[in-house]
Structure 1
Amino acid sequence: MIGVIGGSGLYEIEGLEGATWKRVDSPWGIPSDEILTGRLDGMEIAFLPRHGRGHVHSPTTVPYRANIDALKRLGVTDVVSVSACGSFREEMAPGHFVIVDQFIDRTFAREKSFFGTGCVAHVSMAHPTCALLSEACFEAAKAQGITVHRGGTYLAMEGPQFSSLAESRLYRQEWACDVIGMTNMPEAKLAREAELCYASVAMVTDYDSWHPEHGEVDISQIIATLKGNSENARGLIARLPALLKTTEDPCPHGCDRALEYALMTAPEKRDPVLVEKLDAIAGRLL
């Protein structure tokens, strides 16, 4: 079951068979919105608008834990994150897509884990996206006629303000980042803890503030680019079912077994209240 988390400009998916908006309760809070479920080319799809319909959540206030938990409760196995971003590379121009494979997390005001005191766990984030799912997104983008780049490092900033010129130059020149956004962290970390395959499709809307010919970020230009990006994103998603197996084979990269050796707290020392909240995320092991 594919879960699609739609970013700025992508608030619904047309063409789903049996489309129904469902409320999903989570012990981690209220998700960003109801979740649109249905079938696309024979595959089950669950779509969640990250900011809520009408764009009510800022990047900081998105209920990331509730969102990932709700998708897991619905039976989602693979999450495709679609989000707007700025570009630090001339060749990654507005309107292009980047299939992100690395992150630098500069967020600081968000809950970043399902685990904590009473049930400690450490998962690997060395390779934070699923290579198999990411490749399917890359092939779907090419088939849709999108100019797409395979691989890139995403700088996750807190926001909601855009970068200063000094920050933009730092991230581009010293840290060798490729794109910048505000929402893929802690989303990718939580997906890994939930043992979900995760792919990030970053839709370039601007050149941040480093580019000498483009100046600072202009929200009106971003919105104009978003419209075209959103249509392309819908086309990409529509092509995914044909590229993904419908079998329940284990992920060859181990995404669905990320917690196998991650739990550290002895069973007799685990907090029963926290363990109960983890029923969907880690019930396989707890």
Structure 2
Amino acid sequence: MSRCIAVVGGTGLCEWPGAKLLKSISPSSDYGEPSAELQQIEYEGAEFVFLARHGNGHSIPPHKINYRANIDSLRQAGVTDILAVNAVGGISDQFVAGVIALPEQLNDYTWGREHTFFDGCGGEVQHIDFSYPFSEELRLRLCAAAERGGIDIEPYGTYAVTQGPRLETAAEIRRLARDGNDMVGMTAMPEAALAREAGINYASVCLVVNPGAGLSDSLITMEDIQAVIDTGMLQVKSLLAHCICGH
């Protein structure tokens, strides 16, 4: 079966300077409108579908994203593999600002989000195996791409998914650390679970953009986060291109 790869990007990944737009796709969904239209683009020799998770102009907060419509639209477009990009805060010592991490596990602390296609409304209920929430095949492909591209990565980690849009308190970060989390973000769930329900392979590329609350001597500022995003997302894009070209 031929593979169709999608990149789902949020903070810092809404624009692709130098990319060629091949076509725009506006699939319908029974779950409402996706965050944005799907774009078929070519970047550094890699061709893929791109979806702006937070919408054009980064206007949709994490807890308001229509994750079901996003994943359903990608499924209807024939997507078989999703490379999801997430900006996260670092918790464990090696997850400092600027590090690119490829998590293999997650803990879900979100609430109130429409988190499944199997809600009983369609007369069908299924219970997916979610023991390993990220595709190990895709994660290993990303590891190999990083080696080919000379890009430093943390190849493992546990991602804590919080509700947002606020950042966490110092006490919450201490609790997340006790729970065994290495990084914290706001968008991997229910995105990863919905992809599993839809039969789409899913892996996450995390850029650490700030230390977790209370883990540095200064407060977290959006200016500091943006500075890391401006440089780090260039590395993330290069990693994605190497991975997609290697498929």
Is the 1:8–1:84 contact (alpha carbons within 8 Å) kept by the matching residues of 2?
yes
1:214 Cα shift?
A: 3.6
Counterpart selection for 2:170 from 165, 174, 187: 165
Compared CA separation, residues 41 and 29, structure 1 to 2 (3 A): same
Q: 1:76 aligns to what?
A: 79
Cα–Cα, structure 1 residues 41 and 203, in superposed 2: closer, same or farther, change >3 Å? closer
* 2: CA distance, partners of 1:146 / 1:90: 20
Q: What does residue 105 of structure 2 align with?
A: 102
Name the Cα RMSD after superposition: 1.7
Partners of 2:160 and 2:185 within 8 A in 1 = yes
Distance 2:22 2:149 in 1: 23
Equivalent residue for 1:235, pick from 225, 235, 238: 238
- 2:21–2:39 CA contact under 8 A, matched in 1: no
Matches of 1:75 and 1:66, distance apart in 2: 14
How far did residue 42 of structure 1 move? 7.2
SS in structure 2 of the partner of residue 21 of structure 1: strand
CA distance in 2, matches of 1:85, 1:43: 25
1:156 maps onto 2:161 in alignment: yes
1:219 equivalent in structure 2: 222
Q: Which residue of 1 aligns with 2:148?
A: 143
What is the TM-score of this pair, normalised by structure 1?
Answer: 0.80
User: Residue 144 and residue 214 in structure 1: after superposition, are their counterparts in 2 closer, same or farther (change >3 A)?
Assistant: farther
Counterpart of 1:58 in structure 2 is: 61
Q: Which amino acid aligns with 1:209?
A: A
Superposition pairs for residues 113-132 of structure 1, below 5 Å?
113-117=116-120, 118-132=123-137
Summarize deviations over 1:63-99 as a string: whole Å, max 9, x none.
1001111111111100000010000122111111110
Structure 2 residue matching 1:149: 3-state secondary structure: coil
State the identity as a percent.
35
Unaligned residue ranges in structure 2 (runs of 5+): none
Task: Tell me the equivalent position of 2:184.
Answer: 180
Per the normalisation by structure 2, the TM-score is 0.92
Task: Give the equivalent residue in structure 2 for 1:265.
Answer: none
CA contact (8 A) 1:96 1:146 kept: no
Q: CA deviation at 1:232?
A: 1.2
The 8 Å contact of residues 6 and 47 in structure 1, kept in 2 or not, is answered as: yes
User: Given the superposition, is the C-alpha separation of residues 41 and 94 from structure 1 closer, same or farther in structure 2, using an over 3 Å criterion?
Assistant: closer
Give the match's secondary structure for 1:148.
coil
Look at both structures and tell me which one has the larger radius of gyration over its CA atoms. Answer: 1
User: Which residue in the other structure is 2:201 paired with?
Assistant: 197
Distance 1:38 1:161, change over 3 A: closer
Q: What is the one-letter code of the residue matched to 1:208?
A: G
Task: Decide whether the 8 Å contact of 1:20 with 1:37 is kept in 2.
Answer: yes
User: Which ranges in structure 1 are unaligned for 5 or more consecutive residues?
Assistant: 245-286
Single out whichever of 39-48 and 176-185 deviates more from structure 2: 39-48
Give the Å deviation of 1:14. Answer: 4.6
Distance 2:217 2:229 in 1: 17
Q: How many residues align?
A: 242
Q: 1:136: how far off?
A: 1.2
